[in-house]
Structure 1
Amino acid sequence: MSKDAEVDMKDVELDVIDPEKQPMNTALDNTEKNGCVKVKVPDDQEIKFTGLSKEELLKVANTPCWVRTRWALLILFWLGWIGMLAGAIVIIVQAPRCKPLPSLKWWQKGAIYQIGAVESFDNTKGDGTGDIAGIKARIDYLSSLKVKGIVIGPIHQNSADLVNDTNLEVIDKKFGNEEDFLNLLDAAKKKGIHVVLDLTPNYNGQNNSLFDADIAKKGMEYWLNKGVSGIRFGNVDTILQNPDVVEEWKNITNNYSSEGKERVLILHVKNMVTNNTALLMDDVLSTLGKEPAAAEVITMLSRHIEIAGDQWLGWMVGGRELGHMASMVKNRLYRLYQIMLFTLPGTPFTNYGDEIGLEDTQEKDSKAKFPVMPWKYQQSMEAGPRFTNKTVEDQEKDTDSLLNLYKALSDLKVKERSLQHGDFHIINSNSNIFAYLRDWDQNERFLAVLNFADTKTTADLDRGRLPLKAKVVLSSDPKRPKGEIVLQNIELDPSEGLLLSFPYVS
């Protein structure tokens, strides 16, 4: 064989052994060569892959393999669904049950502000005598205090100890007229503030025996028809001895009440009674003296809360009949008292000016309890030098002021269920400390720790209901750092009131 023939035979052998080296056919003819299909797809040509037809799917679907697969997937789906449902049921059953919220009336949701001396609050005539229009002009200020209601007056016609010159349905001209009062009602309503009218008959005199129950009933109906949210009577201890009269007054306010428009009857008493009135304003704290010991406070409050039972209480120090809190409480305890009033169970009452520490005048006449409200510096100078650092204008600018402490407490009272209607537990420690816990269901807990001593005192609290640590919400001492503190052996500064909080733990 020639050399050329050998070369040709090797080429043939290679072609047979390695067909991949054969040149590909450029035509898309799906022809098979040497056992392989050679396909070349042009770059601009789209290849479409068509799935099985319906008939082909039906044939495959009924095969034993696919039938078993579908049943397995179906069983797994339902097992997973039932498992999730069972898990959710277990979580719901084991979760702590929420207590039903009590149905609260408007006066149970925050503080009530009492303007017992309208002539001393603010005036619009420039004659130095406060009037109804002056209260309306300050409605934004009252709204900033987060109060739920204001008690106005008495403002009706009355000459001291003269029954024939007393008319509960006519407004004394020095305060304005009925149109002024209705305008005030409208302005207060727009701010969500309820107006209660004081109808104490002989408010300019001293003879409380002139309290005519029938005249009072007519006056109540007259002003309830005008849209007031309640009626207040002061100095009614003798009237309360006749339960039929009180029951009739209650029926009158109930008859004018409807859902969302409840009317309240407020009775101011000097001695605690159990007559199931709508709301009792209690001056028990006013009887403790200027510097009571913690033990005295605990004893007095415990007794009153026990006597009241389910009856809703109102707390205040002083008032129209007694004067301003700053004149009844030692200055060092003033901020502590504000914390206590807003954290006790019940409604805190504020005498006008108590939010800034207003004091009674030094005169010995019957108006000594009605100092002028110092809105600005000039007014404070006219009222006396001791008011110059207590104007509303100045305290609004000072973050550490008594006014801003009051606003913070009032805001908490409105927002926190534990402080609004929670349970009350005294946590005893020692004779200088009054500590108590307010809690409601699964809401934030609040612990008030009040040092009545004029020295630093360590509060060794009963830890039965308390966690290891709590957060400082506020203190009567603005310098107290915020943040968490350990509840064991808390050291309080002299006369410090401390409000702490901690979360519910199941």
Structure 2
Amino acid sequence: MPLNAAVTGYGSVAGPGLSTSMGGSESAPLLMPEPEAEPFQQWQPLTKEELEVVAGGPGWRKARCYLVLLFWLTWLTMLAIAITIIVMSPRPVETPLKWWQKSLFYQLQPDLLTEERADGSGGINALCKQLPYLRSVGVGALILEGLFDKKASPLNPNATGERFGTLPQIQHLLAESHKADLKVVLDVLMLDFSKYADTFPQHALRFWLEQGAAGFAICDTDAAYSETTLLEWKGVLKEFSSEEKERIVVVKQTKDVLPPLKSFSQDNVTLVDVVMRSILPSSQHLMSAKEVAVSIETHLQTREEDDVWPSWTVGGKASLHLKKLLLVLVMTLPGTPVVRYDEDIDQAQDKKKRPLASALFSTLSHSRAREEALLFGNFTFLPFNSSTDDSFSSTNSTLPSRPSPPILAFLRSWGCVHFLILLNVGPEPHALDPAWAPSLPKAGVFVANTGTARLGSTSLDTLELRPHEAIVIKLFEAGSYS
């Protein structure tokens, strides 16, 4: 058979769209070619003009609105959370205080200041001249003792006129005290009102209130200390009282327990405004450092909250070494301090001696006036963990016969402010035990002390108290000066 016969060619495949001729079979590709890859385009940031065109589109505008809204919602949520935390956090609430709760009382017998001196000075005018000075060192009120003799009429103090002065002179003193912004409380101890007619005591009270007296002081052993009498007094005082010039009744506590100070028959009316207590018990002899330490510790440990405002005075007799220490104690305890006349701060005394004593007095009084923690802050007694000295116990049968720590301490706190008061009653120097109060800040700054070399900041770890020394320290965390 000829090779070129008209038959289906060898190796040729007929298929759809393909020619059966040789030319068609030779030109048809056996594999499909792959498509050519598109040229690679490198990413480039938008130009300023392109960005402005795209940013103005609706998509970006909506995104920006959502972001701004999310920012302000987040900020407002954080602000609401912060306000909620502040509102819900416990914080001390400041209680408005009356004038007698903020004042420092200065208790004196006028004859100590008004007696004629060798140089011819003295008298009622000398006392009146000292009133601005007493106000400048922080005194806010005077308790005048000895104006009334037990046998004298309440309307005629010291009828003989030998101890203090005549009625016009006392009226002059009250007027000058008012000019010096000093309140005056008249001490009517031991004055028996019961021997007069029923209306006479009220008449006498009205007379002195009209003269400017801010109140009256009595003792818990007086005949006037009864519910019937005190209710009558409160009624008279209310007539002369106002928000700025409220008149008060002060009772000096001599018994261990006072009778009830509220009258439940008259809608629970408080019978007295201030209860004055003594740190030291009355004694005929000069109390030793051991007896003073036990008495102080007993009062610090057994101090109770009262329905009426407390007040503290030294009361008993102590050695001169402890005189300044007791002053620091009275001025830093909760309540109103009552300081008896001290010749060291008398303006008429030796000027070389007076500045040291008056500086401590003024520092304590002004610190108490401006520091909330000292004025109405919380009180915490801080017992020491160190071993006590067995020889440092009381020998007085009226006081607890038990050992007393060489150092007494308590804390006055208000909010984040803490004042530490340290009292070394003993005759030996003492350093603080590092493990004594681990929760207290270790750093602080001296506010007042009975010495003259305590200035600036200090650390409780290195502090050492000198014999018969009292120190007031304002504590703060390391690195802060709040």
Letter in 1 for 2:101: Q
Aligned to 1:361: none
- With 308-317 and 427-436 compared, the bigger mean Cα shift is at 308-317
Alignment partner of 1:167: what SS? coil
The answer for the alignment partner of 1:32 in structure 2 is none
Partner of 1:415: 370
Q: Give the percent of matched residue pairs that are identical in Structure 1 and Structure 2.
A: 24
Whether the 8 Å CA contact 2:425–2:469 is kept in 1: the answer is yes
- Does residue 243 (structure 1) correspond to residue 230 (structure 2)? The answer is no
- Counterpart residue number, 2:425: 452
- Deviations, residues 96-118 of structure 1 (Å, cap 9, x unaligned): 443221121111113101222x1
Of 269, 273, 279, which aligns to 2:253? Answer: 269
For the 8 Å contact 2:381–2:410, the answer to whether it is kept is yes
Q: Is the 8 A contact 1:417 1:440 kept in 2?
A: yes
Residue 295 (structure 1) shift: 3.6
Whether the aligned pair in 2 keeps the contact of 1:199 and 1:219 (CA below 8 Å) is no
Distance 1:139 1:394 in 2: 21
Shift in CA distance, 287/177, structure 1 to aligned 2, threshold 3 Å: closer
1:226-252 deviation per Cα after TM superposition (whole angstroms, max 9, x unaligned): 33221122x441437633323333343
Which position in structure 2 is the counterpart of 1:466? 440
Q: Does 1:314 align with 2:287?
A: no
Q: Which amino acid aligns with 1:415?
A: R
**2:378 touches 2:414 (CA, 8 Å); kept in 1?**
yes
SS at match of 1:338: helix
Partner residue of 2:293?
294
Q: Does 1:259 align with 2:250?
A: no
Does the 8 A contact of 1:123 with 1:133 survive in 2?
no
Match of 1:394 in 2: 352
One-letter amino acid matched to 1:140: P
Of 188, 200, 203, the match for 2:177? 188
1:84-233 mapped onto 2 (5 Å cutoff): 84-95=75-86, 96-116=89-109, 118-122=110-114, 130-156=122-148, 158=149, 162=151, 165-168=152-155, 173=161, 175-177=164-166, 179-200=168-189, 202=191, 215-233=200-218
Write the distance in 1 (CA, Å) between the matches of 2:225 and 2:115: 39
2:383 to 428, 437, 457: 428
Aligned partners of 1:274 and 1:136: how far apart in 2? Answer: 38
Q: When the two structures are superposed, what TM-score results if normalisation uses the length of structure 2?
A: 0.70
- Alpha-carbon deviation of 1:216? 3.7
Q: Deviations over 1:61-83 (max 9, x none)?
A: xx992666665555544443333
Query: Is 1:483 the counterpart of 2:454 in the alignment?
Result: no
1:200-228: CA deviation from partner (whole Å, max 9, x where unpaired): 364xxxx9997998644332222123332
Q: Kindly tell me: are residues 254 and 423 of structure 1, through their superposed partners in 2, closer, same or farther at Cα, counting changes over 3 Å?
A: farther
Counterparts of 1:365-376 in structure 2 under 5 Å? 375-376=348-349
For residues 140 and 301 of structure 2, the distance between their equivalents in structure 1, rounded to whole angstroms, comes to 26
Match of 2:273 in 1: 278
Does structure 1 conserve the Cα–Cα contact (< 8 Å) formed by 2:429 and 2:467?
Answer: yes
Post-superposition Cα deviations, 1:410-452, rounded to whole Å, max 9, x if no partner, equal: 111111111111111110014221111111223x211111111
8 Å CA contact 1:457–1:491 kept in 2: the answer is: yes
Specify whether residues 225 and 458 from structure 1 end up closer, same or farther in structure 2 by C-alpha distance, changes over 3 A only.
same
Amino acid at match of 1:228: A
Q: Which amino acid aligns with 1:395?
A: K
When residues 255 and 89 of structure 1 are mapped into structure 2, their CA distance, relative to the original with a 3 A threshold, is farther
Is the contact between residue 152 and residue 196 of structure 1 (CA under 8 Å) also seen in structure 2? yes
Between the two proteins, the alignment pairs up a number of residues equal to 389
Structure-2 separation of matches of 1:135 and 1:146: 17
Partner secondary structure for residue 204 of structure 2 = helix
Distance 1:142 1:408, change over 3 A: same
Superposition deviation, residue 344 in structure 1: 0.9
Please give the alpha-carbon distance, in whole angstroms, between the structure 2 residues aligned to 1:77 and 1:189: 65
Structure 2 residues without counterparts, runs of 5 or longer: 1-53, 262-271, 389-404
Kindly state the Cα deviation for residue 192 of structure 1 after the two structures are TM-superposed: 3.0
Q: 1:278, CA displacement in angstroms?
A: 1.0
1:374: Cα distance to partner?
A: 7.2
The CA deviation string for residues 289-317 of structure 1, in whole angstroms up to 9 with x for no partner, is: 342253442114433x22x5333211112
Q: Give the whole-Å Cα distance in 2 for the aligned partners of 1:83 and 1:149.
A: 56
1:86 counterpart letter in structure 2: T
- 8 Å CA contact retained: 1:471, 1:483: yes
Query: In structure 2, how many angstroms separate the alpha carbons of the residues matched to 1:73 and 1:194?
Result: 69
- 2:36 is matched with none
The structure that is helix-richer by fraction is 1
Shift of 1:166: 1.8
SS, match of residue 262 in structure 1: coil
Q: 2:311 touches 2:337 (CA, 8 Å); kept in 1?
A: yes
Inter-CA distance 223–75: structure 2 relative to 1 (3 Å threshold): farther
- Confirm or deny: 8 A CA contact 2:193 2:224 kept in the other structure: no
